[in-house]
């Protein structure tokens, strides 16, 4: 279960939010749910300090990274730099990166390899637009994205991955995918992993659903076969709603 803050929270509001989360989440919920928080780059160091000093069992995450470890790439942040801050999970290929910053499947693959090379876990986002869904092109789009991300990777690398199914039309719209549509898409993603990397990897890989997740729809999503977790945007910004999502997940399954 991951909270993607996108371009929200400066380092001061980030600190307050994480401290509030510390009070709002019960220790029992942490034991059954693997939680990561993905602040903007400027708040990562501050969030790391709070998590480590308060010994909160939340993993630190990032929203993106560059595919090279260092070099003349003004404005960029490398996976190697994130690893130094004890970041564990890095989102790669979020649809907002693909749409607004022109990230191709090839760039996403290079970023995924950079994250693995630096001993962190990539959360690889895939998903279709509304037009693609309406044209019946969802499977084709998911297949192209998953294939570009993992084909030729070692089975043990693929086994560590988190794949996030985030239909673009469900992001930030308040219109979550139905449990049936999400189950079908996550099932397709898992079968692509089986085809490309073997049955072992397809069982080990964790698949999240993302797109208008809230405290009310979390439990039913996680109760669905083959959906192992959720990737939360807007509802992760406030401690109370993210804590309610964590608690709903803890009650429903091992997300």
**Which residues of this protein are in contact with ligand 13P, per CB under 6 A?**
4, 94, 166, 171-172, 210-213, 231-235
* Local structure of 215: helix, strand or coil: coil
Q: Which of 96, 128, 132, 166 is catalytic?
A: 166
> For residues 162 and 235, which CB has a smaller minimum distance to ligand 13P in the complex?
235
> For residues 215 and 234, which CB has a smaller minimum distance to ligand 13P in the complex?
234
Is 119 among the residues known to form the active site? no
Is 94 among the residues known to form the active site? yes
Minimal distance, residue 58 CB to ligand 13P, in Å: 17
> For residues 9 and 94, which CB has a smaller minimum distance to ligand 13P in the complex?
94
Residues 6+ away with beta carbon under 8 Å from 141: 126, 127, 128, 129, 132
Q: How is 62-88 classified by DSSP, letter by letter?
A: ES--BSSSSSS-TT--BHHHHHHTTEE
Token match 């490309």: residue? 196
Q: Which of 94, 96, 128, 132 is catalytic?
A: 94
Minimal distance, residue 131 CB to ligand 13P, in Å: 18
Token match 């290929």: residue? 93
| The token pair that represents 78 in the structure block | 């490398």
> How many Cα atoms occupy the beta-carbon half-sphere of 181 within 13 Å?
18
- The residue of the chain with the least Cβ separation from ligand 13P equals 233
> For residues 67 and 242, which CB has a smaller minimum distance to ligand 13P in the complex?
242
Q: Which residues are catalytic?
A: 94, 166
């Amino acid at each position: 279960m991951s909270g993607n803050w996108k371009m929200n929270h400066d380092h001061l509001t980030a600190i307050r939010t994480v401290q509030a989360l510390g009070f709002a989440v019960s220790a029992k919920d942490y034991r059954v749910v693997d939680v990561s928080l993905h602040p903007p780059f400027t708040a990562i160091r501050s969030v790391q300090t709070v998590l480590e000093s308060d010994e909160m069992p939340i993993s630190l995450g990032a929203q993106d990274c560059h595919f090279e470890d260092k070099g003349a790439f003004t404005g960029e942040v490398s996976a190697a730099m994130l690893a130094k801050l004890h970041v564990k999970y890095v989102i790669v290929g979020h649809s907002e990166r693909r749409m607004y910053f022109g990230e191709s499947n090839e760039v996403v693959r290079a970023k995924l390899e950079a994250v693995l090379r630096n001993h962190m876990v990539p959360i690889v986002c895939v998903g279709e637009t509304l037009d693609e869904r309406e044209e019946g092109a969802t499977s084709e789009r998911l297949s192209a994205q998953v294939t570009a991300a993992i084909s030729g990777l070692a089975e043990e690398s693929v086994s560590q991955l988190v794949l996030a199914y985030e239909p673009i039309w469900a992001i930030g719209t308040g219109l979550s995918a139905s449990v049936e549509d999400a189950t079908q898409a996550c099932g397709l993603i898992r079968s692509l992993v089986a085809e490309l990397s073997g049955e072992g990897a397809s069982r080990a890989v964790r698949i999240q659903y993302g797109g208008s997740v809230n405290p009310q729809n979390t439990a039913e999503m996680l109760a669905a076969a083959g959906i192992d977790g959720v990737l939360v945007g807007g509802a992760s910004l406030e401690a109370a709603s993210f804590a309610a999502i964590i608690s709903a997940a803890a009650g429903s399954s091992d997300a």
